[in-house]
């Protein structure tokens, strides 16, 4: 039997209170919160975090990665390669992108499911919209990773009973490459189109699963067309799963796998779940959980991540982070772009946070060094990945002068549990709250972009409880 | 194999130092010409008497041509030296060795930096292409790491720490107010210092040395020849340099309350000079007060205060102009700014004035001690280069 053998999600730390939009603009906004990717996050980094959470809740190593997003960090260049590198997966991993549309999430999920071996779908999205737009307040940022495999790889947590999809060519939402916000056709037009496509797909999916709607325990409906989603929800009644829009917004392409994960976080064995995705057609997947779900503990649940967020993000910062407000830059030189050859030479360090450990003295070097700082042994090192090792702050500072997309820069000197020290930038933290002795963990971020090159590297963030 | 030092083998017989500051009127060429010719006049020599030159600059030029062209030096050796913020001291050190070796009779060490033409805040530098993982922290931020670590280790609360740092800045500005060559020639009230806008960590703008332009130069000869040039030569007692493995940011045993490079360079210098108790033997010290916590930590690393006590000594006035061991009597980097290649030689210039009794009376140190120390630092806590020199007005 093939099915889901692991999963992980990522909900970024920041929340924008929608009433702050209304207060600032006299329009837009609304009630509740949306999740907001930090200034140093993009769909690739959020994908890495979701995939890390999936792998930290599992013991398997995927041999392929299917990455999907409607907001890719790079065009032409594959984004999944950075995810593969950040996860320290070997060269024989097949990492590919499926991108552009919200529907590409389906390509990643079905592609991973259909690729032999252990295969991971990573879906990530970062949603913006013009200030005061519905997309701005109702969008959300986040990512999810789903690992598919067979029984012999790991216990299957859930498997598909029946699946069907439909496709429609019509104008619902659309965005030209480079635009920061989508255009949307009158919603009533899309609503009727989606309802017909969804009913068709759901009927065929339940039929192929050989069940009726009465056999379904939970219904997940995802999609960026809020009106169509709301209308379709009527078929679910009280089986409808909360789509979390009120608390984190709609993370676009990532919404379907995030909601599936939120269901699995709480699912009992033997639950039948209908998962519907409305995006240029309809996708209907009837899933059943196995006994193994009872023994599976996700590394971080969707709920725990929502609860751990900060509601304090100000709207002006949100606009700055998303490029709608340009701050006066510091009177400092722009950062240099990373060079391709040095970046390639240090791939293990830069992307996977792998240092070197002296085989004789045990001293850990971050960054890796060939000559040991303890005893001077030359080229007698083994690689040691520190990305998942917690650390403690030894000293820290706040740099008000350094170049940053969101000054000030918080810098910490951290000592890892079991050895190893690193001077890191710290993120997802109030500069006034940092203290010596605080616990931190590493997170994969985009430090800055210079001359079209995204500079990815690791930062420290407060350790989740 | 051992380091031997060159105690009393060479001597400074003339020095020059331009006013430091925002020298919109002068380029690096002009500053070099001014400092060199002041030094020639001070030593009573002409340019043709100089056999070789050592030029220290971090970024105001490359190669010996940076000096030989503006000064129109006729086909003499000019060595351009760079060693981060210790560049000026490094030019001096190598020039001294050239004389001690017997290779040359008369040499010049000269340093210059023209920082204010960049238009940027703070120091900037170009780096070789990298993987993008190097720290992007500014200099004040890296040095500000010392403050919470020191306070934490020695049990100071935030307020006391701020008071200590403020007093260091206040003392150096007070000294600088008496110095016509300084960039800032005004006393600054402690309240103003403490309330200045934050730059990094607890450091306000007044905890940071300024950005300025300047140049300073020294003429160096063999000690036995010194009296042909001046009645009051300054003998070089010790020159030490320590370049660390830069493992502070890697090594959990480093606690950001000390500079190991300073400790090793100080030990080496005291050994060369035969100093057993610097606190009681040294008349004055010019140290690298790039930021106030740097000076605090240096007092312990240089052996002027017991570990964990420098903050009390700083508050008690030990290092004031009229204290037990005056530190930065010329006003330090705090008052002069830090034109990188020039700073090390500017420190020696204050020793030149003080130990020969030629400082202006309002800041002349009254001491029967005959030794002065300069200390110059480059890099950041945990990864730096450190220079220490001891000079004295008497042989032996």
For chain B, give every domain's residue range.
10-118+213-234, 140-202+237-391
Segment A88-96 shows an average pLDDT of 97
Q: Which residue has the tokens 């945990």?
A: B382
The predicted structure's pLDDT at residue B135: 86
Question: Whole-prediction pTM value?
Answer: 0.94
* Domains: count for chain A: 2
Find out whether A65 and A95 touch, Cβ atoms under 8 Å: yes
Closest by Cβ to B132, choosing from A341, A345, A457: A457
Statement to judge: residues A138 and A278 lie in one domain:
yes
Within 13 Å, how many C-alpha atoms sit on residue A334's CB side? Answer: 8
- Quick one: which H or E segment has residue B34? helix B28-43
Determine, for residues A331 and B136 on separate chains, whether the beta-carbon distance falls below 8 Å.
Answer: no
Residues A323-362: tens digit of each pLDDT: 999 888 877 788 889 999 999 999 999 999 999 999 999 9
B127 CB near a chain A CB, below 8 Å? Answer: yes
Find out whether B300 and B318 touch, Cβ atoms under 8 Å: no
Determine, for residues B149 and A341 on separate chains, whether the beta-carbon distance falls below 8 Å.
Answer: no
Segment A419-443 shows an average pLDDT of 96
Determine, for residues A395 and B152 on separate chains, whether the beta-carbon distance falls below 8 Å.
Answer: yes
Coil/strand/helix, residue B332: helix
Segment B104-127 shows an average pLDDT of 89
Find out whether A351 and A367 touch, Cβ atoms under 8 Å: no
pLDDT at B123 over 80: no
Residues A239-264: tens digit of each pLDDT: 999 999 999 999 999 999 999 999 99
Minimum CA–CA partner of A413 in chain B = B249
What is the phi/psi pair of residue B56, to 5°? -105, 120
Determine, for residues A394 and B149 on separate chains, whether the beta-carbon distance falls below 8 Å.
Answer: yes
Phi-psi map region of A92: left, alpha, beta (phi>0 left; psi -120 to 50 alpha): alpha
Q: How close is the nearest chain B Cα to the Cα of A333, in Å?
A: 7
Determine, for residues B138 and A402 on separate chains, whether the beta-carbon distance falls below 8 Å.
Answer: yes
Q: How close is the nearest chain B Cα to the Cα of A170, in Å?
A: 44
Tell me whether residue B338 is one of the annotated catalytic residues: yes
Find out whether B202 and B144 touch, Cβ atoms under 8 Å: yes
pLDDT at B76 over 80: yes
Of the residues B17, B96, B208, B338, only one is catalytic, namely B338
- From the candidates B130, B132, B141, which should be mutated to test the interface with A, based on the most A CB atoms within 10 A? B132
Statement to judge: residues A317 and A400 lie in one domain:
no
Statement to judge: residues A64 and A114 lie in one domain:
yes
> Among A60-64, A141-145, A346-350, A402-406, which stretch is predicted with the lowest mean pLDDT?
A402-406
Coil/strand/helix, residue A340: helix
Determine, for residues A409 and B136 on separate chains, whether the beta-carbon distance falls below 8 Å.
Answer: yes
Statement to judge: residues A285 and A406 lie in one domain:
no
- Gap between the Cα atoms of A45 and A39, Å rounded: 11
Residue A426 inside a domain? The answer is yes
Nearest-5° angle of CA A303, CA A306, CA A311? 155
pLDDT at B119 over 90: no
- From the candidates B115, B123, B136, B260, which should be mutated to test the interface with A, based on the most A CB atoms within 10 A? B136
- Gap between the Cα atoms of B379 and B84, Å rounded: 7
Segment A401-424 shows an average pLDDT of 93
Statement to judge: residues A450 and A304 lie in one domain:
no
Residue A391 belongs to domain with CATH number:
2.40.50.840
Determine, for residues A436 and B140 on separate chains, whether the beta-carbon distance falls below 8 Å.
Answer: no
The predicted structure's pLDDT at residue B120: 83
Average pLDDT, chain A: 96
Of the residues B17, B85, B351, B384, only one is catalytic, namely B85
Statement to judge: residues A136 and A169 lie in one domain:
yes
Using pLDDT thresholds of 50, 70 and 90, give the confidence band for residue A403. confident
Residues B322-342: tens digit of each pLDDT: 999 999 999 999 999 999 999
The predicted structure's pLDDT at residue A110: 97
Residue A327 inside a domain? The answer is no
Determine, for residues A402 and B141 on separate chains, whether the beta-carbon distance falls below 8 Å.
Answer: yes
- Which residues in A lie closer than 8 A to residue B197 (C-beta atoms)? 400
Coil/strand/helix, residue A125: strand
- Gap between the Cα atoms of A411 and A395, Å rounded: 9
The predicted structure's pLDDT at residue A247: 97
- From the candidates B128, B130, B131, which should be mutated to test the interface with A, based on the most A CB atoms within 10 A? B131
- Gap between the Cα atoms of A77 and A286, Å rounded: 35
**DSSP β-bridge partners for residue A94:** A64
Closest by Cβ to B250, choosing from A337, A366, A399: A366
What is the phi/psi pair of residue A6, to 5°? 180, 160
- From the candidates A339, A397, A417, A444, which should be mutated to test the interface with B, based on the most B CB atoms within 10 A? A397
- Which residues in B lie closer than 8 A to residue A387 (C-beta atoms)? none
Closest by Cβ to A367, choosing from B133, B145, B254: B133
Minimum CA–CA partner of A367 in chain B = B250
CATH 3.40.30.10 matches B10-118+213-234:
no
pLDDT at B125 over 90: no
The predicted structure's pLDDT at residue A203: 97
The predicted structure's pLDDT at residue A331: 79
Kindly give, in sequence order, each residue whose CB lies less than 8 Å from that of residue A258, ignoring residues fewer than 6 positions away: A9, A11, A142, A143, A144, A244, A251, A302
Instruction: Report which of residues B123 and A299 the model is more confident about.
Output: A299
Segment B85-105 shows an average pLDDT of 98
- Which residues in A lie closer than 8 A to residue B130 (C-beta atoms)? 336, 338-339, 342
Find out whether B389 and B92 touch, Cβ atoms under 8 Å: yes
Using pLDDT thresholds of 50, 70 and 90, give the confidence band for residue B63. very high
pLDDT at A401 over 90: no
Segment B271-296 shows an average pLDDT of 98
Statement to judge: residues A344 and A270 lie in one domain:
no
Q: How close is the nearest chain A Cα to the Cα of B163, in Å?
A: 18
B131 CB near a chain A CB, below 8 Å? Answer: yes
Chain B, residues 228-247, CB within 8 A of chain A, namely: 245, 247
The predicted structure's pLDDT at residue B379: 95
Statement to judge: residues A262 and A348 lie in one domain:
no
Residue A361 inside a domain? The answer is no
The answer to whether the bond into A421 is cis (omega within 30° of 0) is: no
**DSSP β-bridge partners for residue A250:** A139
Q: Kindly list the distances between the CA atom of residue A75 and the CA atoms of A71, A177, A183, B74, B290, in Å, as whole numbers in the listed order.
A: 10, 10, 21, 58, 45
- Gap between the Cα atoms of B176 and B185, Å rounded: 5
DSSP letters, A163-219, are EEEEE----SEE--TT-SS-EE--HHHHHHHHHHHHHHHHHHHHHHHT--GGG-SEE
Residues A126-140: tens digit of each pLDDT: 999 999 999 999 999
Segment B304-319 shows an average pLDDT of 98
Statement to judge: residues A308 and A429 lie in one domain:
no
Statement to judge: residues A292 and A347 lie in one domain:
no
- Which residues in B lie closer than 8 A to residue A436 (C-beta atoms)? 148-149, 152
Class of domain B140-202+237-391: alpha beta
- Gap between the Cα atoms of B3 and B272, Å rounded: 9
The answer to whether the bond into A408 is cis (omega within 30° of 0) is: yes
Kindly give, in sequence order, each residue whose CB lies less than 8 Å from that of residue B8, ignoring residues fewer than 6 positions away: B223, B235, B236, B237, B395, B396
- Which residues in B lie closer than 8 A to residue A343 (C-beta atoms)? 131-132
Of the candidates A70, A69, A98, A94, which has an alpha carbon nearest to the alpha carbon of residue A84? A94
Highest mean pLDDT, choosing among A113-127, A326-340, B120-134: A113-127
Structure tokens at B357: 């009794």
Statement to judge: residues A270 and A137 lie in one domain:
yes
Determine, for residues B145 and A335 on separate chains, whether the beta-carbon distance falls below 8 Å.
Answer: no
Residue A234 inside a domain? The answer is yes
- The number of angstroms, rounded, from the C-alpha of B264 to the middle of its chain's C-alpha atoms is 17
- Quick one: which H or E segment has residue B152? helix B146-154
- Gap between the Cα atoms of A34 and B308, Å rounded: 49
Structure tokens at B205: 């703008």
Instruction: Give, as one character, the DSSP assignment of residue A411.
Output: E
- Quick one: which H or E segment has residue B216? strand B213-222
Domain that residue A162 falls in: 2-321
The predicted structure's pLDDT at residue A310: 95
Average pLDDT, chain B: 96
Determine, for residues B122 and A332 on separate chains, whether the beta-carbon distance falls below 8 Å.
Answer: yes
B274 CB near a chain A CB, below 8 Å? Answer: no
**Four-residue CA torsion sign, B69, B72, B74, B80:** negative
Instruction: Give, as one character, the DSSP assignment of residue A371.
Output: B
Statement to judge: residues A307 and A433 lie in one domain:
no
Find out whether B57 and B28 touch, Cβ atoms under 8 Å: yes
Find out whether A157 and A5 touch, Cβ atoms under 8 Å: yes
Closest by Cβ to B145, choosing from A335, A364, A395: A395
Give the strand pairing for A173-174 and A183-184: antiparallel
Tell me whether residue B85 is one of the annotated catalytic residues: yes
> Among A154-163, A172-181, B179-188, which stretch is predicted with the lowest mean pLDDT?
A172-181
Closest by Cβ to A331, choosing from B121, B142, B146: B121
Coil/strand/helix, residue A270: coil
The predicted structure's pLDDT at residue A158: 98
> Among A143-147, A179-183, B351-355, which stretch is predicted with the lowest mean pLDDT?
A179-183
Segment B26-35 shows an average pLDDT of 97
Domain B140-202+237-391 in the same topology as domain B10-118+213-234: yes
């Amino acid at each position: 039997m093939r099915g889901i053998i692991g999963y992980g999600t990522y909900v970024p730390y920041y929340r924008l209170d929608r009433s702050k939009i209304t207060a600032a603009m006299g329009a837009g906004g609304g009630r509740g919160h949306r999740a907001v990717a930090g200034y140093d996050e993009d769909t690739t980094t959020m994908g890495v975090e979701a995939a890390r959470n999936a792998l930290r809740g599992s013991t398997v190593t995927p041999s392929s990665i299917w990455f999907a997003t409607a907001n890719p960090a790079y065009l032409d260049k594959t984004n999944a390669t950075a995810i593969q590198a950040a996860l320290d997966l070997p060269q024989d991993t097949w990492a590919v992108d499926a991108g552009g549309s919200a529907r590409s999430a389906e390509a990643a999920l079905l592609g991973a499911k259909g690729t032999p071996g252990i295969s991971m779908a990573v879906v990530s999205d970062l949603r913006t919209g013009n200030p005061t737009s519905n997309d701005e307040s109702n969008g959300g940022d986040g990512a999810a990773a789903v690992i598919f495999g067979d029984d012999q790889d790991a216990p299957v947590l859930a498997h598909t009973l029946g699946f069907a999809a439909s496709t429609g060519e019509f104008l619902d939402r659309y965005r030209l490459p480079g635009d920061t916000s989508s255009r949307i056709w009158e919603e009533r037009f899309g609503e009727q189109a989606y309802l017909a496509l969804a009913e068709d797909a759901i009927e065929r999916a339940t039929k192929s699963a050989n069940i009726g709607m009465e056999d379904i325990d939970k219904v997940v409906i995802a999609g960026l067309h809020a009106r169509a989603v709301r209308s379709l929800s009527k078929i679910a009644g009280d089986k409808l799963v909360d789509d979390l829009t009120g608390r984190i917004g709609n993370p676009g392409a990532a919404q379907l796998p995030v909601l599936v994960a939120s269901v699995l976080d709480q699912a009992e064995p033997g639950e039948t779940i209908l998962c519907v995705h409305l995006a240029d057609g309809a996708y209907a997947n009837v899933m059943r959980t196995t006994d193994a779900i009872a023994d599976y503990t996700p590394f971080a649940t969707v709920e725990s991540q929502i609860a751990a967020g900060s509601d304090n993000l100000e709207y002006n910062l949100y606009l700055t982070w998303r490029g709608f407000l340009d701050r006066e830059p510091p009177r400092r030189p722009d950062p240099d772009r990373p060079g391709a050859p040095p970046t390639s030479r240090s791939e293990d360090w830069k992307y996977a946070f792998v240092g070197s450990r002296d085989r004789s003295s045990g001293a850990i070097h971050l960054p890796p060094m060939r000559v040991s700082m303890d005893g001077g042994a030359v080229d007698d090192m083994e690689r040691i990945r520190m990305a998942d090792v917690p650390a403690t702050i030894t000293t820290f500072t706040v740099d008000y002068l350094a170049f940053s997309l969101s000054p000030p820069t918080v810098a910490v000197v951290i000592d890892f549990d079991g050895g190893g020290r690193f001077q890191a930038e710290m993120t997802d933290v109030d500069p006034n709250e940092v203290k010596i002795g605080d616990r931190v963990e590493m997170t994969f971020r985009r430090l800055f972009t210079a001359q079209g090159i995204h500079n990815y590297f690791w930062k420290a963030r407060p350790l989740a409880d | 194999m051992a380091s031997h030092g060159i105690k009393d083998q060479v001597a400074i017989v003339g020095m020059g130092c331009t006013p430091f500051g925002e020298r919109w009127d002068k380029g690096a060429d002009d500053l070099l010409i001014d400092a060199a010719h002041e030094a020639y006049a001070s030593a009573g020599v002409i340019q043709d008497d100089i056999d070789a030159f050592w030029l220290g600059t971090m970024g105001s030029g490359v190669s010996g041509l940076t000096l030989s062209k503006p000064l129109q030096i006729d086909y003499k050796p000019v060595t351009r030296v760079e060693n981060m913020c210790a560049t000026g001291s490094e030019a001096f050190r190598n020039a001294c060795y050239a004389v001690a070796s017997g290779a040359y009779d008369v040499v010049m060490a000269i340093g210059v930096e023209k920082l204010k033409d960049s238009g940027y805040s703070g120091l900037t530098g170009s780096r070789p292409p990298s993987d993008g993982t190097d720290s992007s922290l500014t200099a004040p931020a890296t040095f500000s790491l010392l403050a919470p670590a020191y306070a934490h280790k020695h049990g100071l609360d935030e307020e006391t720490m701020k008071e200590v740092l403020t007093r260091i800045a206040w003392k150096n500005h007070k000294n600088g107010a008496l110095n016509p060559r300084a960039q800032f020639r005004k006393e600054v009230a402690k309240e103003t210092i403490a309330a200045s806008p934050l730059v990094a960590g607890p450091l306000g703008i007044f905890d940071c040395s300024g950005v300025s332009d300047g140049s300073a130069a020294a003429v160096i000869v063999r000690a036995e020849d010194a009296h042909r040039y001046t009645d009051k030569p300054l003998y070089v007692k010790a020159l030490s340099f320590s370049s660390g493995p830069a493992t502070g940011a890697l090594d959990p045993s480093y606690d950001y309350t000390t500079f190991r490079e300073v400790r090793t360079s100080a030990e080496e210098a005291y050994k060369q000079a035969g100093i057993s108790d610097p606190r009681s033997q040294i008349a004055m010290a010019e140290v690298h007060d790039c930021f106030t916590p740097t000076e605090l930590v240096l007092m312990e690393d240089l052996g002027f205060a017991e570990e964990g006590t420098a903050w009390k000594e700083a508050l008690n006035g030990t290092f004031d102009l009229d204290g037990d061991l005056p530190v930065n009597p010329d006003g330090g980097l705090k008052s002069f700014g830090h034109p990188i290649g020039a700073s090390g030689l500017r420190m020696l210039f204050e020793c030149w004035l003080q130990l020969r009794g030629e400082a202006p009376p309002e800041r002349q140190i009254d001491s029967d001690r005959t030794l002065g120390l300069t200390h110059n630092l480059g890099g950041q806590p945990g990864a730096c280069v450190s220079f220490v020199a001891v000079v004295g007005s008497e042989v032996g």
